[in-house]
Every structure is written in C-alpha cells, then in structure tokens.
Structure 1
Amino acid sequence: MRLFIAEKPSLAQAIAHGLGHMSKRNGYIECGNDIVTWCFGHILQQYDPEDYDKNLHAWRLEDLPIIPEHWKNKVSSSAKEQYEVIKSLVAKADCIVNAGDPDREGQLLVDEVLNQLGVLNQKPIQRILLNALDEKSVKTALADIRDNRDFVGLRNSALARQRADWLIGMNLTRMYTIRSQKAGYTGTISVGRVQTPTTALVVRRELEIRNFKPKDYYLLQVDWAHPNGVISTTWKPQEQAEGQDEEGRLIKRDPAEQLAEEIRQETGVVESVEQKKGQSQPKLPYSLSSLQIDAGKIYGYSPQEVLDTQQSLYEKKLTTYPRSDCDYLPTNQLADVPLVLKSLRALTDDLAQMVENADPALRSRAWNDKKISAHHAIIPTTITPEWDRLNEREQNLYTLVAKAYLAQFYPPQTFLSTKIQIRCAGESFHVSGKVILDDGWKQLYHGSLEEKEGDDHPETKLPAVKQGDAVSCQESRIQTRTTKPPARYNASTLLKAMKEIGKYVKDASLKATLKDCSGIGTEATRAGIIETIQKRGFVSVTRQKNLIPTEKGYLLLRILSDSITYPDITARWEQSLDAISRKEMRLQDFFQEQSRFVQQLLEEAKSCEIPPPKDVVRCPKCSSPMMRRWTTKNGKKSYFWGCSKYPECKTTLPDRNGKPVFEELGKYRPKKKQSKTDAGSFHYKKPTE
C-alpha cells in the first residue's frame, strides 16, 4: 500500500481526485491501492522550555541560556486524533509519499511527522511537488514523483531555521521580559529574528519623521523659444556652485535670481540632443509578495487579506500555489497556454478582449527554467471560474493575476526618449521627454485602476531641435519647494520593505545575500508577522492605516542590541541555511554557532540600561518600580502589585481595574511561593518568527 501524506485536507482531496477510485474514510481517502491522508499544517509543535524541565515554567535569569541537548516535538492538542490516523496508516504502508507544499517548510512538515513515528529512514519515502490543484497539474505531478532523499538538505535547512528561531525567541524574550518588568513594564517583551527587525523598521522610520527638519530649496525653470516650439528646462547648478546643500539642492535664492536676470540678456545654444529608443518589458507574473504589494496599493487590501483570498482561489483550483516566492514560469507550462487563454476568454468582456489581442507565440523573459525552484509564479489554472460565485476581492485578485499572465503574450512597450541640454551664460539647463511608439503590454492597463497607481512617467513631447540651434529666454520662474519627510509605513509598504530588506542592513556587504533570499520572513509568514507586531503591542494602526510605534516599540529599539534589531542576522543565517540545503554544512555546526550567538546576545542584554515607563508605579517604601502579578485561589485568578525588588522589599498592594490601591498598603500578601519568579505576572506565549 502506498500512502500519501498531504500538508492539508484540500491538497489531499486534489491528490485523491488525481488518483481516482475515491472512497472516503475517517481521516483518509482510499484510492485503490493508494491511500491519501493529511495534516493540518504543523500538527507537531516544538517542546516549550517547561516540557524539557518543569522548573523552567517560572522565568528566571539564572536559568538562561536554555539550550536543549536533544530537541523534541509534541503533538498539537487540536490534531491528536488525526495524528493517530496517520500513525496507524504509516504502520501499514509499504511506501510513503511526502505531499507537503513545495517549499522548505512543506518538506519539514511531513518529514517531522515521519521522524516522530520512527519511519523516516526505515521505509521507502518519495516526494511529490504540487504547484496547483487542478486535475491536469496533479496528474503531471503524479507522473513525476521523486525520491524524498533528494530533499534532505531542504528539510535540514528548515529544521535549522526553526530551531535557531526557538533559541532566539525563548531566551531573549525571557531575558528582556524579566529585565523590563523589573524596570516597571508589564507584559511580555517578545523578541524574534523576523518580528524584531520588522518592528525596528517602523520605529526607525518614525524617528526619521520626528527628527526631520523641512528645508526650502529653489528650482530655476526656463522656457526657451525655438522655431519649432518652446523648450521648458530646469537649471542644473555645477557641483561646486555656492548655495547648495549636500544633496545638490539650491538652498539660496540669490544665485537663481542673478542667473535669471543674466540669461535674459544672452542667447542660448542647444549643446546636445540625445535620442534613444527604449523598451519596457512585460511585468513578470506575481509572487505572493508582489501581489500583496500591488493589491495593497490598488485596492487597500492588507497582506493577510491577499493571502487568505489567494488561498481560497487556490483551493477552488482557479489559481496556482499562493505562497510562491517566485515570479517566473517553467517552460513545461507553455503546453497549458491555449487552455488558460480559453478559460480567460470565457470570463468578462474586458478579459476576453485582452485574450483576443494576445499573441500566444510570444515568449517573455518570464519563461525561465533556471529561475524555478520548488514552485513558480502565481497564474490562473485551466479551470474557468464561475465568476458570479466569486466575491469582489476574489474577482479583483484573480483579474490582477490574469492580467500579469496575459502580459507575457504582449510585446514590450517601445518609446523614444529625448534629452536636451541648453547652454547659456556658462550654465546648463536640462529637459527629458518621452514619446510612446507602441503601447505593447501596457495597453492591458489603460484606464484601469492599476494604471492610475503605476509609477510610469507621463508622455512628454519635445520640439525637434538639433545641436547648435540658437534659443532665447522666453520666460523664467523660480519655484520654492520644501523637502518632505519619508512616508510612514502601512501594511503593504512594510511588506515591501521586508522583501527589500537588503536596503536596511547595517553591514553593506550583506545586501546581496538578502536580495538573493528575498528579504526577511517567507512569502507565507510576512503578513502574519505584521499582524503579530500589532497584537504584541509594538506598533499601532492610525485611521489612515499607517503603522506607528507604541512606547513598547520604542523601548524595544532602545534596549535591544543592533545584532537583533537589524536584519543582518537573517542574511548570515541564509548563507548557512543555503549551505545546509546543499549539504555543505552540518546541522550540528550551525547549532553550535547559534548557541554561541545567543549567549553573546544574553551577555549584551544583561548590561543594557532600561529606562522606566512614563507611568511607572513606584513602591511607596523603597521607590523601586512595582509589577502587576497574579495568583490563583480556588481556581480563580486574582491580581496584585508587588515590589520589583522582592524579596529585599516585600511591599504589596491590591489591584483594582489594573491599578494599584495605595490606600490599602500591605493588606494583601501572597504566599512566598507565589512570588518566587523574578518575571512577575504574564501569560507565557511561545515566540514565533
């Protein structure tokens, strides 16, 4: 019997349809001699510290660092029944097929279950890679099942990332939570390799805005008379000219006024005319991040809304795998082009016209097998949607995906760009123009919301001139401009920054690595990370949907080491993870490296100064910060306030609606056992990325 273990039920259902002869059972599907079962994402969880040692339930500085000698997993409480189903089927199987999603996490998700069951190296195990759930894609994948051993490096890289994140999160979260609570803060200071640099992006941007000092600068614009028309130019001061700031902006008005007066008396000459034909290649099909960025810009959808909607379209078999980090297509997908175009033609009138104008024989740069890893760009499948049954968000995102796919069958946009330089009174005046020769793929977006949100420069026609032509000043004007601070992040622009995180590294030599690994986080986790830093109180959302730091967010950047607030750590990890996936680095060596790194970060954390919060509650006896703690009596939780210098100072106060009651000083004293921990009172939550 051959057993397929899918990552989720929808994937299992698609595989079963591809195999045929389906007969549903409790927790699995029989398909002749094949059986298909499923997980619910990660049905195994890593041990928490207290699972290794019950004494670690209390958070104490003296217990750090916590570094497991033997890593262990436990079955999620919500998946125990399904785990037992998988366990019984694995025992009977002659061959097992890992049907996790086609990426690093998908490989680990199924392999870790097989390892937990003790069969990972005991039975024949194969691997199926599915990028879409339509019947044709499934049958193609079933005909190309691989040996699971080919993906050991991929699994180990996911395992290395998972465990290293655990070390960072568990140790630093405890360290900074304990220390910050002693300074008077409440709650958990969660630290993570991805969430912390992401929070830092928002904090640093806000600090830029707060510290920004607007400056006026001036532009001298001159209209020159020529027999063929007016040439509108802008003065470009020489590099060494007086009155400029460090970025070459003119911050003194006098030089512009003097030059404006001078050129009225002189004749100018066309010093150079440069014309070039250019092309704008069709935009690539979407990865998840690029789709989230465009959908946020065009429709205001949050990254999580886009991911959820794409997951829905994927499960309806209308688009391909939604968590793709790739924006290229394999050449074997060319065989499906006629069927996909036929499907799109049957939808809206707009899409039908776009298909009509497409040329299926064209081959854009998107068709590149060398750019494909575990999955390819998000594109429509060959199945025609029942349009009226899709909600508005599904229709909008499907249309975005369809247009990006159709763009691959349109020619490049071609244009003629012209640069004119005029010389007068020893100074240079410049203008650039652009004339569209052929719209090409850009015609797909004419009059659409996408075009309005685009970044293209408008078409600017210039009169025909040649080098040496004489011109005279017709009009000059000095415009006053004011520098503007950078814009605040919203969910979409923050996601873009995460994807382009190489721009924000401290060590410039790591920029290339972060570009190659497509930023911090994964396509599947970035939206969740942005929501996590909101839920954990590091950032809040304004009415305009901008993200701004909270006091807790500012604190995070102030007390944490640059080693964890900058994304450089991810770049260094990716270099190691890539080596692990190629089997050029051992897991053990990577863990030893990370263990040393965690110990270094903990040492730095011990010496950092933590300022008290603005609303700190001071102990009425010793003036140390007080902490809100909790205890249980008869199964009910009750709160009180205790001095952070316990046991040196044992002052306590009752709690009323989250505030201490000073009038009843000392009335409530919990048993000594209840106040054993230095950490104060908080729910323990396992940190994620």
Structure 2
Amino acid sequence: MRKVIIAEKPSVAKNIADAFKIKKRNDGYFEGEEYLVTWAFGHLLQLLDAKDYDESMKGWRMDKFPFIPEQFKYKVKCDSYNRNAEDKGAAKQLGIIKNLITREDVNAVISATDYDREGQVIADELFLYLDVKKPIYRLLLNEWTEDEVKKGMSNLKLNLEMQPLQDAGIGRQLADWIIGINLTSVATLRYGFEDNKIINIGRVLLPTLKIIYDRDKEIENFQASTYYKLIANFKTKANVEFEGLYYENSSEKFDVKEYLDEVSKVLKDKSAIVVDKEIEKKREYPSPLFNLSNLQGYVTSKYKGWTSDKVLKVAQGLYEKKFITYPRTASVVLEESLKDKAKKVLETLKKGLPYEKDIKFNSSKRVFDNSKVESHSAITPTYVIPKNLSKDEEIVYTAVKNRFIMQFMPVAEFEETKITIKVYDEKIPGEFVAKGRVQIVEGWRVVEKIESKDTILPLVIKDEILSVVDNKVSAVTKKPPKYHTEKTLLRVMETCGKSYKEDSEEESEEMMNAILSGFSIGTPATRAETIKKLKDIGYITTKGKSLKCTELGETIVEIFPAKELLDLEYTGRLEKTLSDIEKQKFNKSDFLKLICEFTIKSVNEIKKDTSLLHKFKVELPEGSVEIGKCPECGNPIIEGNKGFGCSNWKNGCKYTIWKDDKYIQSFNKKVTKEMVELLLKNGKVGFRNLVSKKGNIFTAYLRYEKNKETGYYNWKLEFID
C-alpha cells in the first residue's frame, strides 16, 4: 500500500521526491513505490463569497448587512482575472489530489505543507472539502534538505494533534472574511463616492495604516526648536589639539545662547586642567540571527528598490530550494536541539573564508535558547551550498549566511576614553568632556566589512594643564521625526510598538515578550502582504524609502467610526488571541463570537455615519424645486408627498421634516413649505400664537437640531421674551 504526500508547492514536492529517489513524474504528482507525492499551489480553495450563499447579495445594499453565514463553506478559488470563473489550474490539481487519495492502493495521507498556521489550513481545508476518511498524518519540517525530510518522515504526527493550529488558522480565515466582507461593503456604500471606489477595510490593514498616519501627523505638527552648545579647542603640551563639549548638570544643551556667549568670552586665553580620565573596554556583540521582520528591514534599508514583500518572496524561494530554513518566523534564536546541526552547517560554510581561523562554534544562550523560540527557530543557512543564485537571491542568502557566521566570531572590542576638563572660573561652573573610541578587536565586524569610525584622543594624564586655543557656540535645530520606512513599520507591527527604538537591532526583554506572546499586528507571513496592499489600494504612497498616507488614507483614518480597528492594542489583542488558540488557552468559537459582535456593532456605526455625505453632489431631480440646502450634506431639499427631504437620500442622507410632524401639531401649527424655507435659510423659524398644553399663548423660535448620540433630528424650543 502507498501513502499520498501533499506538499504546499511543486518545488517542495520535488524536494521530497528527491529525498526518496522518486524519479517518475506524472501529470500533477510524482509516483514512487511507497509514496505518491503531489502538491497544492498555496490555497486551491477559498471561502464562498456572500453572493454564493444568497443570490440577492450580488448587488450591495445597506439593508443586507451585516451578513454572517450560519455555516462557512469552501469552493475552488476564483480565477485571478475573472472572479466569476474557477481557476482552471486549481480545479485540475484538486481533481488530481482527489483521485490519488481515493485510489484503492492508498491507505493514508500525509500533509507536508509549511509548518505554520497558514500551511495547516492549506491542507486541512482540502481534507474538509474532499471529506477525506483515510488516516491523515502531519510532516513537520523547518527545512527541506534530504536529511531533514527522511528524519521528519520517520517522526510523523497524527494530523488530529494539530487541531489547535487548525483552529487558529481557520479562526483567522473566518474572522478576516467576516470583518472584511461586511465592513468593506458598508464602508464602500457609505464612503465610496469617487468613481464607486472600493473602500477596503481589514483587521490588519487599518491599524497598519494608522501607524503611518500617526507618524505623518507627528511630522506635520512638529514645531522646530533650537538649543545651543559650546565646543572648546584644547592644546596639550605636545601641541596636539582636540575638542571638548561643555556640560552643566550632565547636559550639553542650553536654551539661552547669550549665557553661552558669556562663557565663551571668559574662556579666551584661559588654561584648563584634566580633572579625570577614564578608559573603559567595551564589547560589542553582533545583531541576533534574523527573523523575517528583521531580514526584511535589513534588506529594504540597505538596498534600493526592495520591498518587504520582495524579500519574503526571495527568502521563500531559497527555502524551497533547500538553501535556508523556514523564513516566516518571529524568533531570533535557535532551539537548543539544533546545536549539532548548526555546527555541521558552520563547518561547511566557513571553508575557504579569509577569516576561517576566527570562526569557532559555541553554544551561547545568545544563539540557542528554547525559552525564546516560538514555533520556528531563527532563519539560518542549511548545509546545502547554493550554486547559480540570481542577483536578488545572492543578496538575501548572503545576509542570512553572514548573520549566522557572525554569531561564532570573536566579539568586537573597543577602548572608550572619556577626558573631563575644568576651567577654574566662577563664571564657568560646568566642565568640558572629550570622548574617544578606538577599535581594538575587529571580530565579527570583518564579516560585513563594517568600518569603525575611530575618534582618537591625545595621550594626556590627570592634572595635566591644557591651553584653550579657541571655542564656538553652535545652534542645533531639533529635527522632526522621519517618515516610516518598511523597516521601521515592520518593527512597530511586530511588537505593537512595545519598547521599540528605531535605530536599534537589539531585542529588549519587553519587545521579546511581545513577539513571543503573539501580541502583534499580523504575523511574519502577512505583514509584507499588508504593506503591499496598502500601496496597491491607494491608502499609502512611497517616496524613496519613505511611506506616507495618501489623501484617501488620511480620510479613512479620520472618519472611520469603528475606532477599535485603528487601535494597535485592540488588534494586538486579537492576534494574541489567535496565538492563544494555538496554545489551547482560548477556543475558536468564543473568538468568532467576539468577531461577530464587533462586526455587527461596526456595521451599524458605519450606517449611522454621515461625516462624508457632503462629498456626494446630487443633481436636482427633474420637475422638483429646491427649497433650500440640506444642513447635513449641502444638497437640495425638495418637497415630497409626506415631507421635505434631502435629494441625497440614496447615498444615506436621512434629513427629513415630516408634514404631519406631531411636535409641531402639538402647538396647533402645521409644517409648511414657507416655514421649511425660513428654517433652512436662518437655522431657526419664529412662530407667533403657539399654544401650550395648558392653553397658554406664546411666541418662540424653533430649531431642528441633530442629537449626536442617536443621529436623529429633534425640535428645540427657544422662547422670545
């Protein structure tokens, strides 16, 4: 009897076939004595569209939403060019997989898709759709080398054991469908005034947009300020000059220039004394191994024309060719069980390198630490040495290889010198500080030829007398923050902004805990796709490496009423909940209940929102007369059979004054065309001879005002003395 192995892609299926020396290739699968190896092309299936459940959903109408099916179903994925047709390639491959599984000589199925949430779903949705009854096993691998494939096949798990991963994957899939379909539809109906533009709303899309928006506003609202500093030039007895910076109360920044000008005058022709000299040896470790976000940030910031999406595609290709380990990881360390494998890889890679003798394997906690690995270890090279890499592949592979080798090189060492200088004068209460830094051991920095900028100070000793030869007061203008780049955006998404420092590659403990707990926006696998989608749908634009909101993107952030979707904390909690489902700390049905409640509430908030009604300009209907302008949206108010209403009613403007208004009738008055004209023109209308419930006669103004909480208009009485 044989077993069917289903890989995620054809290239991975070939790696598995090669490991078992299976040469025979048929249409859509490899055929061996023990195994039939076939493949998907990523997702072959997709969730049904709303119109597949209900024909009336073909044309979007406000009253049809929220729409949440009682039971979700799958269909063959749509053609990428014609959404009304099946993808022929997917349908054909699905048929091949079905035929292989139902063969009489097949007694089991092995899922060999990527070992992550999405990979689990790619296979499991096929098994659900095809209603597979035969035993299903799971192959869990981090790389596709021959050794690993054989080792993995001898340690198969029952696919049933992967239920928590499936729940998280399908939970994510359904949540994104519920939020995406409902909120995109009602947002488009409410706000898509430009050429019927689709207004895309998504669980990960909006908070990512908000990060960019917030930085844009920070820059826009930045108010430049200036501080001043004083630099003096000192000369030693040996006629060597060097600079020192003036400090008072541990700060070199002064708000008042005139104060430093006075100090500067007093300094002229003075002598100074070295009151302290400290020399400290500093050790500098390499940045940790790459996870996907760090790799994307490194490559996009170093090379022109690269996007995080491109880095992921190239890395995925290298993984499928067996050159690197699984790239969609959040970890920056390796499992401790990988020490022997890492040593083998290191011995292979170091041969012939000019610094080979300096490369020595060590099992440091900086590299191997089980407590900091979540699902997958950091990205490393495999023992397979690549040949004929493309230029793009070379860039990504070299980055991964170098970062791995650096971990086993000597630590870089520097000697840092701090000289403290005092000028004894009561008008100079502070002191001058000169700092120098000299590299002693190049260490791991040689791998990427990272040059050290040495600042060499002259040899001076404590109590040595120096002369002040010159000084100057300089103005420093504080610069606004920089626009986000893909590198900085990925870091904020990865940690929801926890302990994030823009120029640091080091992982703080709080940041690591955020990453490991799953408290993030999106996953390593989806962040690049999110950034690409924001560009494609026109919410953000790029200028060089900078990311900025477009006018449409800004508008969405400013007017979108379901504010939770713009909140990093809220989205981070949703992502953490998915992570907790994987760990069996939360269940899928409770998660989906939360998503449904949120979606229903958000749909109703969007339906009530009138903030963009003024963008719709409606022509006066033929045969109608304009009574005035709608205070809600600026379009013509016209008379109907039952009342006076806005001509923009099709787009959701509900401004109406009913002819049989009970409130007006209670004062023994009627709503007339003349009354409405005056109300629209002046914002209020005056009435004489109003009759109260007690029968009193009085005069008053009436206003027709919107209740901000309910969204409805009510009459307000203003008495006239």
- TM band (smaller chain): 0.7 to 0.9
Call closer, same or farther: CA 1:186–1:310 in 2, change over 3 Å: same
User: Is 1:461–2:465 an aligned residue pair?
Assistant: no
**Residue of structure 1 equivalent to 2:403:** 404
Residue identity matched to 1:283: S
Residue pair 2:328, 2:524 contacting (<8 A) in 1 also: yes
Structural mapping, 1:12-161, within 5 Å: 12-76=13-77, 77-78=86-87, 79-92=90-103, 93-119=106-132, 122-161=133-172
User: Is 1:329–2:334 an aligned residue pair?
Assistant: yes
Of 374-383 and 289-298, the range deviating more from structure 2 = 374-383
Tell me the CA shift for residue 184 of structure 1.
6.0
Residue identity matched to 2:394: Q
Task: Give SS of 2:109's match.
Answer: strand
Task: Give SS of 2:649's match.
Answer: coil
Tell me the CA shift for residue 339 of structure 1.
5.3
Computed over aligned residues only, the root mean square deviation of the Cα atoms, in angstroms, reads 3.3
Task: Give SS of 1:126's match.
Answer: strand
Task: Give SS of 1:445's match.
Answer: coil
Call closer, same or farther: CA 1:210–1:612 in 2, change over 3 Å: farther
Name the CA distance, whole Å, in 2 between partners of 1:220 and 1:648: 63
Name the CA distance, whole Å, in 2 between partners of 1:174 and 1:360: 56
Q: Deviations over 1:174-220 (max 9, x none)?
A: 22211113x66731111112111222222222222222232232121
From 473, 479, 487, the counterpart of 1:478: 473
Residue pair 1:131, 1:375 contacting (<8 A) in 2 also: yes
Name the CA distance, whole Å, in 2 between partners of 1:145 and 1:618: 65
Q: How many residues are treated as equivalent by the alignment?
A: 606
User: Is 1:187–2:197 an aligned residue pair?
Assistant: yes
Q: Deviations over 1:472-528 (max 9, x none)?
A: 5332211122222222234444334433432599xxxx9786443373222222222
Residue identity matched to 1:164: A
Q: Deviations over 1:615-641 (max 9, x none)?
A: x644255678899xxxxxxxxxxxxxx
Tell me the CA shift for residue 369 of structure 1.
3.6
Structural mapping, 1:143-222, within 5 Å: 143-181=154-192, 186-222=196-232
Residue pair 1:219, 1:234 contacting (<8 A) in 2 also: yes
Name the CA distance, whole Å, in 1 between partners of 2:68 and 2:549: 32
Name the CA distance, whole Å, in 2 between partners of 1:363 and 1:136: 25
Structural mapping, 1:335-346, within 5 Å: 335-337=340-342, 340-341=345-346, 343-344=348-349
**Residue of structure 2 equivalent to 1:236:** 247
Tell me the CA shift for residue 265 of structure 1.
7.5
**Residue of structure 2 equivalent to 1:577:** 578
**Residue of structure 1 equivalent to 2:711:** none
Q: Deviations over 1:516-560 (max 9, x none)?
A: 337322222222211211111112233x35332222111111112
Name the CA distance, whole Å, in 1 between partners of 2:130 and 2:498: 44
Tell me the CA shift for residue 574 of structure 1.
3.0
Tell me the CA shift for residue 613 of structure 1.
7.9
Residue pair 2:519, 2:575 contacting (<8 A) in 1 also: no
Percent identical among aligned pairs is 30
Name the CA distance, whole Å, in 1 between partners of 2:521 and 2:494: 6
Tell me the CA shift for residue 355 of structure 1.
3.6
**Residue of structure 2 equivalent to 1:441:** 444
Task: Give SS of 1:352's match.
Answer: coil
Name the CA distance, whole Å, in 2 between partners of 1:471 and 1:355: 47
Of 154-163 and 430-439, the range deviating more from structure 2 = 430-439
Structural mapping, 1:184-333, within 5 Å: 186-227=196-237, 230=241, 232-238=243-249, 249-264=253-268, 268=272, 270=274, 272-300=276-304, 301-333=306-338
Which is greater in Rg? Answer: 2
Name the CA distance, whole Å, in 1 between partners of 2:619 and 2:67: 32
Residue identity matched to 1:485: P
Call closer, same or farther: CA 1:378–1:156 in 2, change over 3 Å: same
Of 289-298 and 256-265, the range deviating more from structure 2 = 256-265
Residue pair 1:296, 1:492 contacting (<8 A) in 2 also: yes
Residue pair 1:202, 1:489 contacting (<8 A) in 2 also: yes
Greater RCO, CA 8 A, separation 6+ = 1
**Residue of structure 1 equivalent to 2:490:** 495
Name the CA distance, whole Å, in 1 between partners of 2:610 and 2:280: 59
Task: Give SS of 1:97's match.
Answer: strand
Q: Deviations over 1:317-349 (max 9, x none)?
A: 222223233332334444345654565467xxx
Of 9-18 and 316-325, the range deviating more from structure 2 = 316-325
TM-score of the aligned structures, taking structure 1 as reference length: 0.79
Name the CA distance, whole Å, in 1 between partners of 2:521 and 2:195: 29
Question: Which residues of structure 1 form unaligned runs of 5+?
Answer: 242-247, 628-642, 650-689
